Copies of this chain bind each other. A is one copy, B any other.
Amino acid sequence: MPTIHVQLFAGRTLDQKRALARALTDATVATLGGKPDSIDVVFTDVEKHDWATGGELWSDKAAPPVAT
């Protein structure tokens, strides 16, 4: 306690999750006090075809134009 649930787009590497779990835990201890062992972080990968903003799936959003 606290428990931190993170929903993020699929595709993050193990190293990124490892670093993020550490960083979120450290940030929480620094802010609230308490012991790191009381903090859980749980990641949930979300595919781009499972997340919509403004009614449009992220897998459907046009790629940003590339400068030429």
Chain B: minimal CB distance from A56 (Å): 7
Q: What are the interface flags for A24-68 relative to B under an 8 Å C-beta threshold, 1 for contact and 0 otherwise?
A: 111110111001110111111110011111111101100000000
Partner of A3, one of B3, B18, B26: B3
- Are B24's CB and A28's CB within 8 A? yes
Once bound together, how far apart are the Cα atoms of A61 and B35, in whole Å? 17
- Are A24's CB and B21's CB within 8 A? no
- Are A24's CB and B27's CB within 8 A? yes
Top 10 A-B residue pairs of the complex, sorted by shortest distance between their CB atoms:
A25-B55, A21-B52, A2-B8, A23-B27, A37-B54, A5-B5, A43-B50, A36-B54, A41-B52, A27-B27
